Amino acid sequence: MAKLDMNGPFAFDQETINQKVTKTSAGNYALGRLDEKGTFFVSYVGRSDTDVAERLSSHLNEKGYSFFKFSYASSTKDAFEKECRNYHDFGENKSLKNDYHPDKPNGTNYKCPVCNK
């Protein structure tokens, strides 16, 4: 079974992002919803190379997400590789609202650890 290895789920609103994501850091996140049993269903996965809280906040206007999970990353490479694994593990653009495979960070030649893109 696929695992995100992230903190949460937390209510997806600005106040909660400010309370829970307190460090300015590269990181990863997942947006989704909870079912009636409290199980988190992933709809979108993403990352930030510099500030995961800011990137999360940029999605607040989008419909369909009521909860989020997140984790900090120790480097942009780690954030990219985790985003790639999450993208593949949770169904790629067939199951996720992500339209495309994650882009590598600007100025890098990192490869996806799953498909080598």
Structural contact between residues 82 and 71, judged by C-beta atoms closer than 8 angstroms: yes
**pLDDT for the residue 2:** 83
The highest-level CATH class for domain 7-95 is: alpha beta
Sketch the domain layout of the chain as residue ranges. 7-95
Measured distance CA(84)–CA(96) in Å, rounded:
13
In the chain, which residues have pLDDT < 50? Answer: none
* Tens-digit pLDDT profile for residues 66-99: 999 999 999 999 999 999 999 999 999 999 999 9
Is pTM beyond 0.75? Reply is yes
**pLDDT for the residue 81:** 98
**pLDDT for the residue 117:** 86
**pLDDT for the residue 1:** 66
